[in-house]
Amino acid sequence: MRVLWAPWRLAYIEKAPAAPACIFCDKPARDEAARRNEFVLQVSDQVSIMMNLYPYANGHVMVAPRTHTADFARLPADTAAALQAALQQVVAALEAEFSPHGFNIGMNLGRTAGAGFAEHLHWHVVPRWEGDTNFMPLLAETRVIPQHLEETYRRLLPYFEES
């Protein structure tokens, strides 16, 4: 049996609090300086957009409703519309700044489906390039990220700041 090491996961495991807080509720509620330190790109009444601190690829962004819910079937129509608009905004920003060849966009409903924060709906937007690691990060927890998260955040933030 081959073993693939993913030492970056240890940072995630060690940082996880004993009773994990909901990042999709806590981070958007912080002041602007704290949100910037946590790589939150945008907060509105209905939606928050933030970088994934443990990205599968450069520019991995998460979009979540502000309401704490895991119930996708009962998501209010206006919230669903706001989430769709936010996903389109994220894709447009990533296309403009990084020119990816494609995207993986989706969510995992429930812990069994792979949700790290199963109690709060959220979508992942993962830019993809020809010749990247394909599904290695998703299946084998192995990743290659060519750019520091702070640099990616700095480049994306202007697309989400109010003009």
- Flag whether pLDDT at 19 surpasses 60: no
Angle, helix 77-98 to helix 149-156, in steps of 10 degrees? 110
- What residues contact 14, with CB distance under 8 A and at least 6 apart? none
Mean pLDDT of 2-21: 62
122 in active site: yes
Per-residue pLDDT tens over the stretch 81-93: 999 999 999 999 9
- 68, 120, 122, 148: the active-site residue: 122
Spell out the domain ranges in the chain: 19-159
pLDDT of res. 163: 47
Per the structure block, which two tokens stand in for 66? 């502000």
Mean pLDDT of 32-47: 96
pLDDT interval class at 142 (50, 70, 90): low
Per-residue pLDDT tens over the stretch 84-130: 999 999 999 999 999 999 999 999 988 888 888 889 999 999 999 98
CATH architecture assignment, domain 19-159: 2-Layer Sandwich (3.30)
Mean pLDDT of 9-23: 68
Q: How much is the pTM?
A: 0.78
